[in-house]
């Protein structure tokens, strides 16, 4: 089994990534990075930050590492919250309220979730990188009890539901992270670990 250090402090993200990688050959064991290893996200794009996190964790530990960076980009807000999606408020409820307040009654409510994924070799060089997007709209009020973050206000017209209303299987298949990992999986088998 091949081992990848996940450049995150979020055990939920490790579990989610493991679900995407469960049927791969070779099998991957994902391990949470040590809590004391902090990486400052100084990139100007999601891909920059994913590569930065994967590279720095790989170098620090001398092991293969994987990182993702993701967020919500709202067209009427010039791409905000973007790279600052997780820091747009202290809680999910605060982040949602701030976004809805800033958007107000705007007719233009198109948005997209973006996810970038990078895998770094133990020397810090990037072995693989990809990204994925999921287009949608920002609803005027939260709907649904599933998911996390902005899921209750991210409406996907093709599904007729917010992320928070979707089954886990549907979200797994169409989400920005799902698209990014679908692109990544065929490349994983080519890595020489």
Name which residue leads in pLDDT, 23 or 37. 37
What pLDDT, on a 0 to 100 scale, did the predictor assign at position 188?
Answer: 84
- Give mean pLDDT, residues 21-32: 81
CATH classification of the domain holding 93: 3.90.950.10
Q: Where are the beta strands (DSSP E) in the chain?
A: 2-6, 28-32, 65-74, 110-120, 126-138, 154-156, 161-162
Is residue 69 flagged as an active site residue? yes
pLDDT-derived band at 16 (thresholds 50, 70, 90) equals: confident
164 Rama sector, left if φ>0, alpha if ψ -120 to 50, beta otherwise? alpha
Q: Would 60 be classed as within a structural domain? A: yes
The C-alpha atoms of residue 114 and residue 137 are separated, in whole angstroms, by: 13
- State the average pLDDT over residues 88-112: 96
Span 167-190, mean pLDDT?
91
In a 3-state reduction of DSSP, which class is residue 124? coil
In a domain, residue 45? The reply is yes
DSSP string, 39-73: -----SSHHHHHHHHHHHHHHHHTS-EEEEEEEEE
Q: Is residue 7 situated within a structural domain? A: yes
Catalytic residue among 68, 69, 131, 151: 69
Residue whose token pair is 């979020």: 10
Q: List b or e across 49-66, with b for residues whose CB sees 16 or more CB atoms inside 10 angstroms.
A: bbbbbbbbbbbbbebbbb
For residue 178, give its domain range.
2-188
Number of domains in the chain: 1
Which residues pair with residue 66 across a beta bridge? 6, 119
pTM, two decimal places: 0.91
Residue 99 covered by a domain: yes
Average pLDDT, the chain: 92
In a domain? residue 24: yes
Query: Quick check: is 193 in a domain?
Result: no
Model confidence over 135-169: pLDDT tens digits?
Answer: 999 999 999 998 889 999 999 999 999 999 999 89
- What is the Cα Rg of the chain in Å? 17
pLDDT at 20: 87
In the prediction, which pLDDT does 25 show?
A: 64
Angstrom distance (rounded) from CA 73 to CA 110 = 9
């Amino acid at each position: 089994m091949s081992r990848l250090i996940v450049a995150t402090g979020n055990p939920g993200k490790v579990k989610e990534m493991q679900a995407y990688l469960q049927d791969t050959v070779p099998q991957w064991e994902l391990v949470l990075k040590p809590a004391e290893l902090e990486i400052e996200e100084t990139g100007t794009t999601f891909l920059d930050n994913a590569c930065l996190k994967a590279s720095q964790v790989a170098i620090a530990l001398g092991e293969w590492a994987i990182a993702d960076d993701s967020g919500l980009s709202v067209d009427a807000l010039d791409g905000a919250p973007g790279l600052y999606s997780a820091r747009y408020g202290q809680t999910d409820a605060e982040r949602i309220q701030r976004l809805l307040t800033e958007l107000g009654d705007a007719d233009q409510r198109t948005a997209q979730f973006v996810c970038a994924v990078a895998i770094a070799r133990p020397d810090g060089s990037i072995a693989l990188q990809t990204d994925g997007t999921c287009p949608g709209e920002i609803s005027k009020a939260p709907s649904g009890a599933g998911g996390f973050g902005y899921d209750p206000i991210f409406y996907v017209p093709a599904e007729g539901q917010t992320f928070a209303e979707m089954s886990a299987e549907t979200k797994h298949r169409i989400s920005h992270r799902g698209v990014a990992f679908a692109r990544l999986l065929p490349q994983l088998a080519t890595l020489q670990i």
